[in-house]
Amino acid sequence: MLAVAVLLLSLLYALPQLGRTRVFARGATGDVTVVALTAGGGAHFYASEPLIEAAPLPVDPPSAPPAAAVAAPRPAASAAPTGGIARMIAPRLGIDHHIEGLGVVDQQLQSPLDGVSAVGWYYPYAAPGTGSNAVFSAHETWNKQHGPFYSLYSARAGDEIVVQMQDGRRFRYVVFSNIRYDEREIPMAEVIWPSPRPAGEEWITLITCGGRLVPLGTGFGEYLDRDVVLARRVS
């Protein structure tokens, strides 16, 4: 009986990862290794936890003194600045969603209040069009529905992502990196201020949950990994 129970738990634990192909790229060299996960199928569990459960985050760049953690109420989505960003569009990844401004509370990245329709942009950090690295996040699944970044795990080198501004400007970025991290080991300072980024080269970073999922017994589950996709601006 014990062996059967262990087998069933192993199958249940592996289910969310089946049938997915991931692209991994490290640094800005363009070297890409494709890792295909075998078998097929789909998961029937959905994330119910906050998007980011990482180590405490500095709000200032690493070279600046760390900011003191100050508890503050989370601003309403309608009041949060969006940096003049209107939408994020990436046809192959199924992304065409409006932007919700997100902050950092108690040194933790917040997640979108609209888990189904909004891509979050972190206004304490850089904005698109400023020649730095703008950080975005969205849910993979939320409340048993697909989130904006449901297909982000499949991002591959060369995929195009467009950030559309409210004034009509459109910034085009091309994916060059897709890395899956254990949530306990994700290097958040490096994610926000990537050291390999050449001076003057503009990037965007997209973050979502993914990978291993632990069922909670309620039809929901908790993801143990985070997918981080990088893209550089081309026009």
Q: Give residues with Cβ within 8 angstroms of 152, minimum separation 6.
A: 93, 95, 138, 140, 206, 208, 210, 227, 229
pLDDT at 80: 77
Task: Give the tens place of pLDDT for each residue, 105-120.
Answer: 988 899 999 999 999 9
> Measured between alpha carbons, how far is residue 111 from residues 35, 137, 219 in Å?
29, 7, 21
Instruction: Give a three-class secondary structure readout of the chain.
Output: CHHHHHHHHHHHHHHHHCCCEEEEECCCCCCEEEEECCCCCCCCCEECCCCCCCCCCCCCCCCCCCCCCCCCCCCCCCCCCCCCEEEEEEHHHCEEEEEEEECEECCEECCCCCCCCEEEEECCCCCCCCCCEEEEECCCEECCEECCCCCHHHCCCCCEEEEEECCCCEEEEEEEEEEEEECCCCCHHHHHCCCCCCCCCCEEEEEEEEEEEEECCCCEEEEEEEEEEEEEECC
Q: What percent of the chain has pLDDT over 90?
A: 57
pLDDT at 144: 85
Domain residue ranges in the chain: 2-37+44-233
Tell me: pLDDT of 100 over 50.
yes
Beta strands 108-109 and 104-105: pairing type? Answer: antiparallel
Q: Which range among 4-8, 58-62, 111-115, 129-133 has the greatest average pLDDT?
A: 129-133
Average pLDDT, the chain: 76
More confident residue, 182 or 220: 182
> Measured between alpha carbons, how far is residue 167 from residues 2, 28, 84, 138 in Å?
62, 30, 7, 23
Tell me: pLDDT of 75 over 50.
no
Q: What percent of the chain has pLDDT over 70?
A: 66
Confidence band for 77, pLDDT divided at 50, 70 and 90: very low
Q: Considering the domain 2-37+44-233, what is its CATH architecture?
A: Beta Barrel (2.40)
pLDDT at 57: 52
Token pair of 182 as six digits = 């254990």
Q: Average pLDDT for residues 52-57, to the nearest whole number? A: 44
CA 13 to chain centre: 22
Q: Average pLDDT for residues 81-96, to the nearest whole number? A: 96
